[in-house]
Structure 1
Amino acid sequence: MRFLNDVKPPYDLTYDDVFMVPSRSAVGSRQAVDLSSPDGTGTTIPLVVANMTAIAGRRMAETVARRGGLVVIPQDIPIEVVTDVISWVKSRHHVLDTPIVLEPHQTVADALSLLPKRAHDAGVVVDENRRPVGVVTDADLSGVDRFTQLSEVMSKDLLLLDADIDPREAFNTLDAHNRRYAPAVDADGKLVGILTRKGALRATLYSPAVDAQGRLRIAAAVGINGDVAGKAKQLLDAGVDTLVIDTAHGHQESMISAIKTVRALDPQVPIVAGNIVAAEGVKDLIEAGADIIKVGVGPGAMCTTRMMTGVGRPQFSAVLECAAEAKKYGKHVWADGGVRHPRDVAMALAAGASNVMIGSWFAGTYESPGDLQHDAQGRAYKESFGMASARAVRNRTSDESAYDRARKALFEEGISTSRMFLDPQRPGVEDLIDSIIAGVRSSCTYAGAASLAEFEEKAVVGLQSAAGYAEGKPLHASWS
């Protein structure tokens, strides 16, 4: 990346402060751009979901990995649960979504409690042999007594797909029958998964992030306190594909010690460590044994660190400096926090990030772990909270004494509750991924880049005023 007219400002920059200039391009198609990351994590799109309890769970991990990204399971979750999640995600299908499975004797209330867990909004009713006998959607259940059995309201007019059907053929079949989705079954007629028209289409556009055995990839985080080696070993034994060592202030002795401890286990997976915002931190963490450095202090939507402490750094400049330092060692950085639009992801990649972490942006989706709620106006939302908030600290210190928990709660640096509304046009995480990746692919073609490495090399970035940034925003109503 270079600055337009080679003008490098004497101050640090956020994503809003910069724009990209179009360059001569020989890239014939957006789909011809290779978005796989060079950092060894196996992502085929440069997106990583942050290790936040309100965002990163097994549904998110399955869905994002199927589209080529990676989800980091948080360090606050009990290790036994994390190992179960790893095993569960690695057993998921590459193309078919995991279905909501119901039985005929279950009630409308049972179905209504489960349907919001998946973007496809459909439950498959099966018999005692797991063969589909019907499907139910929210529309089928609307206005029906909650104690009514599903056998009385389910749709029995089923279209069944072969579990190993080609995605394009599946799309054409669904389109020909004017169906939005259909259950997929094996040779014995037993339910394997569910496939939507959009899901079939996406399966032709994205490549899943898979390990050497062809299983979906997943990452997990550990902290820097307690039995770091023991927890890391359990995660490695469970088959985790990337190990993240995480703390708010990554440039400290405890982090360096934790990295050395994990490196001594000789993991055959990338070690990610952070967070830091300066070249000195990159150097020290890489020399301790990290493969990838997580960059960002305070840019996240749930983070209050900068307002509480004055500590942090504008994210674009932090990523730019840290990526340049990591490159000297043949290593990489992840840009963690501060992205609110597809353009921000593109700017982070132009600055040198190999992957971009997304947190709160994905909180308002069907796939995040929280329960779907509605405000007084009927708008759907989910609650999100920061990992340094009082709420997260309470969860993290539940085994400690009341005094220690009360003392630690005084040092919060995050929001404990925030409503993240679902976008009616993009309520699922895959909808947001579509939007982000479309923007990033176009950014690469504007730069004349056929890969992420070329994008970092060829991007030309200029500085803009607040008015310049505002000029680029679309108007949803006339200005008169």
Structure 2
Amino acid sequence: MQFLDQEALTFDDVLLVPRYSDILPKDASLQTRLTRDIHLNIPILSAAMDTVTEHRLAVCLAEEGGLGILHKNMLIEAQAREVRKVKKFESGVVKDPITVSPKTTIRELIDITDKNNISGMPVVEGKKLVGIVTSRDIRFENNFDHVVSNVMTPKERLITVKEGVSRDQVMMLFRQHRVEKILIVNDQFELRGMYTVKDILKSLSKPQATKNENGQLRVGAAVTTGKETQDRVSALIAEGVDLIVVDTAHAHSKGVIEVIKWIRKHYPDQQIMGGNIATADAAIALMEAGVDAIKVGMG
């Protein structure tokens, strides 16, 4: 065994000596850049472990300004669903709200709202918005075989806005009309999204949250180098995952580098992290393969 004839230290061997400071804690900033496109208000990512990170922790951490990394020890569909839960939890705009048709029965409507934990849905015919139905509309409904068109608020009484309207304008409409949902439409009155007062208030109460350009909480997800990795990556990206983490115990390997190159080739704008590594050569190899961030530390 070879011994190095020089001082070697670990983290436990080192202490920082406190010195005078004229900076108050409230004036300190912990903002950092995880990748070129992802900024964090606190430099904390969660471990991609099945005992640590699923959607509940990912939501909490993103709300505080960090980023949760969903573990990969589940079926592809389950991990994609975890991403969807984070994305749906809070957003300035719900880009693809769940909808029903005028012919949907009250029984079917209740089943959908219970499964998705929502209180109301736009009603559409094709792409055209024709109304909205909420829990208030069916609260005293006894005949569950009635269809939605019998109880919904019709389009003539809806509060709608066009795409690109400012948040201040949306808040003014909420206060003016005392509604809980405002629908976004285009010039053809096709549904393009939805604001909810609940989401707006949540957003205002968490100004430090880590969000994308659509006001959705950001989330990462881990993948490995197995046979189903390409399908898993595609499913995660389809749900809007912000960061793919190619997560292995030893990332300076052919399998990891090939996965990173595949993701970069097929999804050139996707943010990618690779790890774990412990050497400069490994960092260079992952950067050349196309990662945006590197996870350092082994053992």
**Per the shorter chain, which TM-score range?**
0.5 to 0.7
Instruction: Check the 8 A contact 1:259/1:288 in 2, yes or no.
Output: no
- In structure 1, the partner of 2:93 is 96
Percentage of identical aligned residues? 17
- In structure 1, the partner of 2:199 is 199
Deviation at 1:255, TM superposition (A): 7.3
SS of residue matched to 1:101? coil
- In structure 2, the partner of 1:144 is 142
User: Could you tell me how far apart the structure 2 residues matched to 1:236 and 1:99 are?
Assistant: 19
Structure 1 segment 110-125 matched on structure 2, within 5 A: 110-116=108-114, 121-125=119-123
SS of residue matched to 2:182? strand
SS of residue matched to 1:193? strand
Structure 1 segment 25-424 matched on structure 2, within 5 A: 25=24, 27=26, 35=31, 37-40=33-36, 42-45=38-41, 55=54, 72=70, 74=72, 76-78=74-76, 95-97=92-94, 98-116=96-114, 121-137=119-135, 140-141=138-139, 144-156=142-154, 157-201=157-201, 205=207, 208-210=211-213, 219-226=220-227, 242-246=243-247, 250-251=249-250, 256-263=253-260, 267=264, 269-274=271-276, 282-283=278-279, 286=283, 289=286, 291-293=293-295, 322=297
User: Could you tell me how far apart the structure 2 residues matched to 1:176 and 1:70 are?
Assistant: 37
Instruction: Give per-residue Cα distances to partners, 1:55-92, cap 9 Å, x unaligned.
Output: 459xx99xx79x9957658475459x96xx99xx8xxx
Query: Match for 1:271: what amino acid?
Result: M
Instruction: Check the 8 A contact 1:209/1:216 in 2, yes or no.
Output: yes
Query: Match for 1:122: what amino acid?
Result: G
SS of residue matched to 2:145? coil
- The unaligned stretches of length 5 or more in structure 1 are 1-7, 11-22, 275-280, 295-321, 326-480
Instruction: Give per-residue Cα distances to partners, 1:205-264, cap 9 Å, x unaligned.
Output: 4573259xx999765533233476x669968998975332235xx25xx87443333355
Query: Match for 1:145: what amino acid?
Result: N
Query: Match for 1:200: what amino acid?
Result: I
Q: Structure 1's 190 and 118: CA in aligned 2 closer, same or farther, altered over 3 A?
A: same
Q: Structure 1's 33 and 130: CA in aligned 2 closer, same or farther, altered over 3 A?
A: farther
Instruction: Check the 8 A contact 2:225/2:259 in 1, yes or no.
Output: no
User: Could you tell me how far apart the structure 2 residues matched to 1:36 and 1:272 are?
Assistant: 18
User: Could you tell me how far apart the structure 2 residues matched to 1:242 and 1:194 are?
Assistant: 25
Instruction: Check the 8 A contact 2:105/2:146 in 1, yes or no.
Output: yes
- In structure 2, the partner of 1:367 is none
TM-score (norm 1): 0.39
Instruction: Give per-residue Cα distances to partners, 1:18-65, cap 9 Å, x unaligned.
Output: xxxxx951746xxx957454344614455768586x9459xx99xx79
Count how many residue pairs are aligned between Structure 1 and Structure 2: 247
Q: Structure 1's 44 and 135: CA in aligned 2 closer, same or farther, altered over 3 A?
A: farther
Query: Match for 1:258: what amino acid?
Result: G
Deviation at 1:101, TM superposition (A): 0.8
User: Could you tell me how far apart the structure 2 residues matched to 1:242 and 1:198 are?
Assistant: 27
TM-score (norm 2): 0.58
Instruction: Check the 8 A contact 2:246/2:260 in 1, yes or no.
Output: no
Query: Match for 1:155: what amino acid?
Result: T
User: Could you tell me how far apart the structure 1 residues matched to 2:73 and 2:253 are?
Assistant: 18
User: Could you tell me how far apart the structure 2 residues matched to 1:124 and 1:236 are?
Assistant: 26
Q: Structure 1's 130 and 33: CA in aligned 2 closer, same or farther, altered over 3 A?
A: farther
User: Could you tell me how far apart the structure 2 residues matched to 1:237 and 1:119 are?
Assistant: 23
Deviation at 1:166, TM superposition (A): 0.7
Q: Structure 1's 71 and 227: CA in aligned 2 closer, same or farther, altered over 3 A?
A: closer
Query: Match for 1:270: what amino acid?
Result: I
SS of residue matched to 1:270? strand
Deviation at 1:185, TM superposition (A): 1.7
Instruction: Check the 8 A contact 1:168/1:201 in 2, yes or no.
Output: no
- In structure 2, the partner of 1:412 is none
Instruction: Check the 8 A contact 1:210/1:217 in 2, yes or no.
Output: no
Q: Structure 1's 107 and 215: CA in aligned 2 closer, same or farther, altered over 3 A?
A: closer
Relative contact order: is structure 1 or structure 2 higher (C-alpha 8 Å, sep ≥ 6)? 1
Deviation at 1:199, TM superposition (A): 2.5
Instruction: Check the 8 A contact 2:76/2:232 in 1, yes or no.
Output: no
SS of residue matched to 1:165? coil
Instruction: Check the 8 A contact 1:135/1:155 in 2, yes or no.
Output: yes
User: Could you tell me how far apart the structure 1 residues matched to 2:262 and 2:39 are?
Assistant: 24
Query: Match for 2:111: what amino acid?
Result: S
- In structure 2, the partner of 1:425 is none
Instruction: Give per-residue Cα distances to partners, 1:374-418, cap 9 Å, x unaligned.
Output: xxxxxxxxxxxxxxxxxxxxxxxxxxxxxxxxxxxxxxxxxxxxx
User: Could you tell me how far apart the structure 2 residues matched to 1:33 and 1:119 are?
Assistant: 36
Q: Structure 1's 34 and 155: CA in aligned 2 closer, same or farther, altered over 3 A?
A: farther
- In structure 1, the partner of 2:3 is none
Instruction: Give per-residue Cα distances to partners, 1:402-452, cap 9 Å, x unaligned.
Output: xxxxxxxxxxxxxxxxxxxxxxxxxxxxxxxxxxxxxxxxxxxxxxxxxxx
Q: Structure 1's 129 and 227: CA in aligned 2 closer, same or farther, altered over 3 A?
A: closer
SS of residue matched to 1:168? helix
Instruction: Check the 8 A contact 1:210/1:216 in 2, yes or no.
Output: no
Instruction: Check the 8 A contact 2:92/2:203 in 1, yes or no.
Output: yes
Q: Structure 1's 55 and 38: CA in aligned 2 closer, same or farther, altered over 3 A?
A: closer
- The unaligned stretches of length 5 or more in structure 2 are 1-10, 14-21
